[in-house]
């Protein structure tokens, strides 16, 4: 993952958003999806992805399904009912954060902040 606290703070929201769109996904699939969507700009490492997934699972926001695929077991993650609700909240929160940041970084677009 890009070495920035800004990205790190949004990792769980990114994961939840992807699961909301795709139903169920496995770890490697999530890393590739993020990489592809951001044209290689954002690269989630194993050391960041799996702890985030396990934390979300422990919080009851994700459910796990295990299936045998090509000589090995694969863990799929999907949102629980409370996970779906939480995704909506976190996305709203992230959007608000982005709006506020844009206003602060680029105040010309917001007449209220012009002195």
Q: Indicate the residue among 9 and 51 with the shorter CB distance to other proteins.
A: 51
Of these, 18, 20, 27, 84, which contacts other proteins (CB under 8 A)? 27
- Do 69 and 14 contact (CB within 8 A), yes or no? no
37 lines the binding site for other proteins (CB under 8 A): no
Binders of other proteins in range 52-81 (CB under 8 A): 54-55, 58, 64, 66, 69-75
Own/partner contacts of 22-28, CB < 8 Å, gap of 24 or more, are 23/78, 24/65, 24/76, 24/77, 24/78, 25/76, 25/77, 25/78, 26/74, 26/75, 26/76, 26/77, 27/53, 27/75, 27/77
Question: Least distance from C-beta 107 to other proteins, angstroms?
Answer: 39
- Do 30 and 18 contact (CB within 8 A), yes or no? yes
Q: Which stretch binds other proteins (CB under 8 A): 34-42, 46-54, 79-87, 105-113?
A: 46-54
Question: Least distance from C-beta 26 to other proteins, angstroms?
Answer: 7
7 lines the binding site for other proteins (CB under 8 A): no
């Amino acid at each position: 993952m890009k070495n920035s606290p800004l990205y790190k703070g949004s990792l769980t929201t990114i994961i939840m958003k992807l699961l909301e769109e795709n139903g169920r996904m496995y770890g490697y699939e999530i890393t590739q999806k993020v990489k592809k969507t951001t044209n290689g700009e954002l690269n989630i490492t194993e050391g960041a992805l799996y702890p985030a997934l396990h934390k979300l699972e422990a919080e009851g926001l994700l459910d796990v399904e295990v299936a045998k695929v090509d000589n090995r077991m694969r863990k799929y993650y999907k949102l629980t009912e409370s996970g779906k609700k939480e995704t909506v909240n976190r996305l709203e929160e992230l959007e608000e954060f982005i709006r506020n940041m844009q206003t602060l970084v680029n105040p010309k677009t917001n007449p209220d902040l012009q002195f």
